[in-house]
């Protein structure tokens, strides 16, 4: 028998009797969920999926999603569906998609639905764009079809930021191709012009052709730079583009003049190559940023899209954005509260970790306030809304975060300054050259000034930084480190203090059993197995501490006692699992998390702890500098974790206090990096010099953080620091070379010995050297 599931590759449980049948005979699967998904795939005739996939599928979940039907509601669809000519179009995100085979499977399966007009799945972004005929098929059945083959769809609205990035991306692609292809033509003609392979009469013809071909390069491909320089001059300031545009336009106009008057030299190929290389460096910079925008805006869905609002008779699903103060909404177990409000139904527990960072459940009674974004864990509740939409606590944290990160002054890097000063110097120098030749020596100074501009054009200089950054960013992505903000990559080397959040960052956020104690007449292994069997029915976070049970026990009468615990019957014994607060004899098992009652008698207790990531220990020994835990958790667990890792700690901090502590640490130790995950870390992440978010972090934290650790592996911080050092070294080498070359060739230009072909050759070779040097960072 196969030991691994045919569908998801996880180990099959012992005594497994679940199979699916394909053309190679019986294949074992691990659970009913995987069986259903695999059967659905094979019956649809998509067996090729299993042949070509590169990664095994995720384990299928067995729970049915009841929320899908709500997506058929008009008010909900208004949020993310566009209607045009009897056809509806929507963007979806699709979770669990891993390789090209997944994308193929989804497309093929959905195209079988009659009424579905078109679908295109984007693997890189884990998204799909679908359009369908609402008269023939409902959106909920499309969602159901995606679920049947094991993927999780969610509606999605492309953010303005991202739409804008996409537009810029296309613009860059077009401009690059235009400048690239035209530059090649101009170079070809320049070759003929320089090396005298032409008969005399063709000279002028070739000059005119070059002028014609260079014009779109300057005014179409170079449009971005022209615009930016114009804006900057209009505001009476000087940015990087001003000297660049002076060099481009100066050389271009001088060459035009030479062409009109059949005199002097033309430098069209230098102009177009300069524009092409500059554009290339800008595009590389843009790509680095655009990649992270995709990841961070993929699912801004902390708040549910749908709320069940009380109507006259029953509860109607409506768009959560339409909720108003004093509406009454129902939230089911395991769902997210859509707005701040007052609990008006019975006691229930809430998982508020998203707001407070506390790992333990909060028990709330009727009349207490509940927050948007928190999770209801054990009872269906009714909430009277006090604040919805932008007024919720969660949204306000998000607004504070944006404010803080906008106000923070960016770390000015040496690189920016050098490039700016150097280009400015060149302008002054070429002006001086002109004045000296024209007025002191008495020759026409124009051609010498142009030669200086061409010789020193900061081509290699402008490539030095972006090529190194994008090479390094790509390399780090292979290591599971995503760079949102390239400044972080440059300055990571200089970080001297590190702050960490506890829950979800240093710890996994999942519970595990630390110790247990049972009365002597109890068989503890059997008891634990029984508890695991009961917990399997619960979707409470604590249940994840117990491994999947072997199904030896029949569990009957499973009940959730809201705000207290759960109970069930196994072999005629009533077993109750409850928390400390509901037990009278508190000192029996001090600080235990779960009390076990068998037939109303306390028989033992279980202590749980959130597990420290295995990568945390190595990270703390390898990272040099001040290290501190900043946690919102008030429990003594913070101290334990800090002591185990041998670092400092601060417990019980509100999001604002975290910021205060961080500023204190910065004053004392220098630049601070913050590593965090929850919404409660969002503000302190924004304040830190470098913010690092775990991949399981809330979307709001990931959106604005500089670095995302894709594999949740803390040791990658050490890798990041090492790479930052290498990057800075390469950048330094690039600058030394680029500036060195320009200074070297300068005397030639000033004294008039620089012919156009030497200028072009020198420019290409020095750019090539810089790019090759940067590429070393990819290895």
Partner 1 sequence: MNVIYVLIPIAVILLLVAIAIFFWAVKKDQFDDLDRQGFNILFDEDKQDSDKNG
Which one of 26, 83, 86, 112 is in contact with partner 1 (CB under 8 A)?
112
Among 42, 123, 187, 302, binds partner 1 (CB under 8 A): 123
CB atoms within 10 A of CB 161: 12
Does 414 help bind partner 1 (rule: CB under 8 A)?
Answer: no
The interface region with partner 1, picked from 13-21, 103-111, 245-253, 597-605 by CB under 8 A, is 103-111
Q: How far apart are CA 760 and CA 756, in angstroms?
A: 6
Of 101 and 717, which has the nearer Cβ to partner 1? 101
CB 167, min distance to partner 1, A: 11
> Residue 1 or 124: which CB sits closer to partner 1?
124
Is residue 191 involved in binding partner 1 (CB under 8 A)?
Answer: no
Going from the C-alpha of 495 to that of each of 57, 411, 574, 625, 677, the distances in angstroms are 39, 12, 57, 8, 20
Cβ partners under 8 Å of residue 421, min gap 6: none
Residues 202-221: x/- map of binding to partner 1 (CB under 8 A)? Answer: x--x---x---x--------
Structure tokens belonging to residue 112 = 């079988």
What residues from 28 to 87 belong to the interface with partner 1 (CB under 8 A)?
Answer: 45, 48, 52
Q: How far is CA 19 from CA 26, 27, 56, 273, in A?
A: 6, 5, 17, 63
* Pair type for strands 328-331 and 315-319: unpaired
Q: Which stretch binds partner 1 (CB under 8 A): 119-127, 437-445, 596-604, 683-691?
A: 119-127
530 φ, ψ (degrees, to nearest 5): -65, -40
What is the CA angle 188-190-194, rounded to 5?
125
Residue placing its CB nearer to partner 1 in the complex, 99 or 330: 99
Q: Which of 1, 84, 124, 412 binds partner 1 (CB under 8 A)?
A: 124
Question: How many residues in the shown chain lie near partner 1 by CB under 8 A?
Answer: 34
The answer to whether residue 199 forms part of the interface with partner 1 (CB under 8 A) is: yes
Q: Is 23 one of the binding residues for partner 1 (CB under 8 A)?
A: no
Could you tell me the smallest distance in angstroms from the CB atom of residue 219 to partner 1? 15
Residue with tokens 């979940």: 61
Residues 503-532 that bind partner 1 (CB under 8 A): none
3-state secondary structure labels for all residues of 344-379? CCCCEEEECHHHHCCCCCEEECCCCEECCCCEECCC
Tell how strand 497-500 and strand 672-676 pair up: parallel
Shortest distance, CB of residue 7 to partner 1, whole angstroms?
Answer: 19
Minimum gap (Å) between residue 114 Cβ and partner 1: 5
The span of 88-96, 172-180, 370-378, 389-397 binding partner 1 (CB under 8 A) equals: 172-180
- Shortest Å distance, C-beta 470 to partner 1: 16
For the chain, how many helices (H) and strands (E)?
24, 29
**600 CB-near residues (< 8 Å, 6+ apart):** 574, 576
From the list 12, 35, 93, 125, which residue makes contact with partner 1 (rule: CB under 8 A)?
125
Angle in degrees, CA 93, 94, 97, rounded to 5: 140
- Of 258-287, binders to partner 1 (CB under 8 A) are none
CB of 8 to partner 1, least distance (A): 21
Q: Is 185 in the site for partner 1 (CB under 8 A)?
A: yes
- 108 is an interface residue for partner 1 by CB under 8 A: yes
* CA–CA dist 133, 91 (Å, integer): 15
Cα dihedral 624, 630, 634, 638, rounded to 10, equals: -10
Stretch that binds partner 1, among 179-187, 402-410, 519-527, 582-590 (CB under 8 A): 179-187
Among 11, 26, 65, 115, binds partner 1 (CB under 8 A): 115
Relative to beta strand 340-343, strand 369-370 is antiparallel
Query: First vs last Cα of the chain: how many Å apart?
Result: 43
Starting at the edge strand found earlier in the chain, the sheet holding 362-364 runs 362-364, 348-351, 375-376
Is the CB of 114 or the CB of 312 nearer to partner 1? 114
List helix spans (H) across 623-755: 637-645, 655-669, 682-687, 699-704, 716-750
Binding of partner 1 at residue 223 (CB under 8 A)? no
For partner 1, give the closer residue by CB, 284 or 465.
Answer: 284
Residues that bind partner 1 (CB under 8 A): 45, 48, 52, 99-101, 103-104, 108, 112-115, 120-125, 137, 141, 170, 173-174, 177-178, 181-182, 185, 199, 202, 205, 209, 213
């Amino acid at each position: 028998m196969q030991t691994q599931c045919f569908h998801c590759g996880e180990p099959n449980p012992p005594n497994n009797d679940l199979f699916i049948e394909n053309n190679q005979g019986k294949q074992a699967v691990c659970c009913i969920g995987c069986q259903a998904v695999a059967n659905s795939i094979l019956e649809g005739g998509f067996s090729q999926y299993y042949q070509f996939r590169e990664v095994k599928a995720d384990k299928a979940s067995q729970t049915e999603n009841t929320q899908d039907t709500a997506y058929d509601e008009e008010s909900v669809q208004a949020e993310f569906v566009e209607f045009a000519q009897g056809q509806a179009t929507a963007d979806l995100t699709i979770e669990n998609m891993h390789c090209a085979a997944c994308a193929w499977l989804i497309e093929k399966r959905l195209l079988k639905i009659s009424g579905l007009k078109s679908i295109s799945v984007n693997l890189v972004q884990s998204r799909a764009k679908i359009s369908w005929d609402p008269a023939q098929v409902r959106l909920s059945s499309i969602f159901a079809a995606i679920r049947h083959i094991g993927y999780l769809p969610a509606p999605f609205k492309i953010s303005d930021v991202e739409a804008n990035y996409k537009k810029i991306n296309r613009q860059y692609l077009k401009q690059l191709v235009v400048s690239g292809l035209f530059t090649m033509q101009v170079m070809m003609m320049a070759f003929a012009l320089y090396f005298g392979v032409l008969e005399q009469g063709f000279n002028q013809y070739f000059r005119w052709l070059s002028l014609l071909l260079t014009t779109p390069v300057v005014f179409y491909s170079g449009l971005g730079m022209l615009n930016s320089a114009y804006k900057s001059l209009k505001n009476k300031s000087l940015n990087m583009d001003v000297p660049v545009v002076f060099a481009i336009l100066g050389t271009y106009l001088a060459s035009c003049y030479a062409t009109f008057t059949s005199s002097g030299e033309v430098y069209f190929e230098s102009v177009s190559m300069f524009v092409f290389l500059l554009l290339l460096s800008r595009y590389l910079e843009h790509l680095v940023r655009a990649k992270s925008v995709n990841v961070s805006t993929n699912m801004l869905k902390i708040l549910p899209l749908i709320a069940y609002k009380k109507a006259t008779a029953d509860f109607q699903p409506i768009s959560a954005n339409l909720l108003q103060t004093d509406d009454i909404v129902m939230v089911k177990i395991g769902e997210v509260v859509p707005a701040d409000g007052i609990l008006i139904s019975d006691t229930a527990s809430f998982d508020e970790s998203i707001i407070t960072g506390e790992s333990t459940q909060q028990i709330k009674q009727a009349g207490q306030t509940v927050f948007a974004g928190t999770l209801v864990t054990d009872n269906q509740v009714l909430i009277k809304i006090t604040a919805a939409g932008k007024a919720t606590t969660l949204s306000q944290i998000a607004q504070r975060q944006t404010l803080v990160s906008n106000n923070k002054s960016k770390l000015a890097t040496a690189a920016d300054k050098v490039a700016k000063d150097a280009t400015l110097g060149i302008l002054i120098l070429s002006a001086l050259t002109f004045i000296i030749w024209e007025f002191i020596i008495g020759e026409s100074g124009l051609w010498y000034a142009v030669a200086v501009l061409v010789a020193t054009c900061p081509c290699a200089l402008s490539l030095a930084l972006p090529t190194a950054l994008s090479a390094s960013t790509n390399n780090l992505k292979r290591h599971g480190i995503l760079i949102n903000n390239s400044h972080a990559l440059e300055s990571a080397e200089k970080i001297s203090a590190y702050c960490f959040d506890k829950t979800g960052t240093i710890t996994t956020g999942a519970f595990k059993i630390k110790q247990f104690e049972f009365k002597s007449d109890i068989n503890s292994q059997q008891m634990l197995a029984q508890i695991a069997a009961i917990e399997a029915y619960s979707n409470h976070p604590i249940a994840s501490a117990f491994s999947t049970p072997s199904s030896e026990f029949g569990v009957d009468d499973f009940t959730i006692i809201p705000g207290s615990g759960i109970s069930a019957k196994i072999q005629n014994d009533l077993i109750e699992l409850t928390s400390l607060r509901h037990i009278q004899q508190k000192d029996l098992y001090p600080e235990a998390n779960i009390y076990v009652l068998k037939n109303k008698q306390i028989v033992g207790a279980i202590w749980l702890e959130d597990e420290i990531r295995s990568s945390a220990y190595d990270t703390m020994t390898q990272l040099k500098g001040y290290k501190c835990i900043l946690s919102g958790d008030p429990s003594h667990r913070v101290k334990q974790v800090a002591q185990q890792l041998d670092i400092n700690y601060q417990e019980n901090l509100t999001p604002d206090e975290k910021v205060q502590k961080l500023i204190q640490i910065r004053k004392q130790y220098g630049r601070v990096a913050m590593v965090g995950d929850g919404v409660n870390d969002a503000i302190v992440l924004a304040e830190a010099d470098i913010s690092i978010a775990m991949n399981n972090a809330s979307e709001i934290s990931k959106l604005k953080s500089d670095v995302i650790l894709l594999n949740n592996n803390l040791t990658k911080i050490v890798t990041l620091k090492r790479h930052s050092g290498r990057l800075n070294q390469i950048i330094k080498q690039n600058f030394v070379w680029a500036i060195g070359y320009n200074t070297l060739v300068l005397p030639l230009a000033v004294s008039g010995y620089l012919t156009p072909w030497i200028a072009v050759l020198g420019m290409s070779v020095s750019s090539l050297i810089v790019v090759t040097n940067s590429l070393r960072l990819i290895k």
